[in-house]
Structure formats: C-alpha cells, structure tokens
Amino acid sequence: MEKTSEYDIIRHLHGLDLVKLMLGKRDQMEALAEEAAELSWAALKWIRATGMSANPTTEGFHQTANNLIEEFRDVLACAYVAGLRIPTEEELKQSEKSKRWEGKIRAEYERRMKEVRRKEHETI
C-alpha cells in the first residue's frame, strides 16, 4: 500500500478545512477574536446608520447591513475553523442564554405593567 504524504492530504483539502489543518489553535482563536470584534463594530455602525443613535455615520443602511451579515459569517467561519460546533436554530432556542434572556424580558414586562397599573390607579 502506498504511503500518503502530508502534501497529498493538503492537496485535497480546500477552503476552511485547509485553514483548519494549517493554523494552530492560537492563530485560530486570534482570528475568531478579531472577527468577533469586527462583528461588534459592524453592529454599532448598523445602529448609527438606522438613526437609532444621535451619532451619525456616512455609511448607508444597506452598506452597514451587508457588512453586519459579512462579519457574522466571518465569525461563524472562524468558529468552524477553531472546532467550535455551531448550534442549530432549535438548539439556540433551547439554550441557557435563551432561557435567561426570556426570564429578564418577562420580568421587565411585568415590572412595566405594574407601573402602568399603579399610574392608572392613581388617576382614578
């Protein structure tokens, strides 16, 4: 049986699978951190472009929305390269983060409703 060289393996890998093989764990995590920071920046730019902020930007809504999507995909690509399993939509919906966030939203809603009822009672 013919021995397979490392070169033969690399020749048959493409895209992210090649990157995954060639980069060390530190480089993979650095790339992930960098892309995550860029995603954060893109989200802030999107907020400014939509007019939700008093701090204007020269970039338009469509440009910032496209950049936000691109940066999100870059984060997912880096997560794949770093060996992080990307959860399904259903797994995200059932995650601990989802449960905590839901609890916070429900608690805030209840707090606001109590305040509204209190104000309505005061006006009677």
| Mean pLDDT of all residues belonging to the chain | 92
Task: Report the domain count for the chain.
Answer: 2
CA–CA separation, 36 and 32 (whole Å):
6
Are 38 and 74 in contact by the 8 Å Cβ rule? The answer is yes
Residues 32-80 pLDDT 10s: 999 999 999 999 999 999 999 999 999 999 999 999 999 999 999 999 9
Q: Looking at the structure, do residues 92 and 102 belong to the same domain, yes or no?
A: yes
Question: Is 78 found in the same domain as 17?
Answer: yes
Alpha helices in 1-124 (DSSP H): 6-12, 15-22, 25-50, 61-81, 89-93, 96-123
Whether residues 66 and 18 fall in one domain: yes
Q: Can you tell me whether residue 85 is helix, strand or coil?
A: coil
What is the C-alpha separation between 70 and 76, in angstroms, rounded?
10
Q: Encode pLDDT of 111-123 as tens digits.
A: 999 999 888 888 7
Percent of the chain with pLDDT over 70: 93
DSSP state of 55: S
- Identify whether 106 is part of a domain: yes
48 domain-assigned: yes
pTM for this prediction? 0.78
Domain limits for position 100: 88-124
Residues 32 and 64 in one domain: yes
Are residues 100 and 74 part of one domain?
Answer: no
Q: Are residues 61 and 121 in the same domain?
A: no
pLDDT at 98 (0 to 100): 97
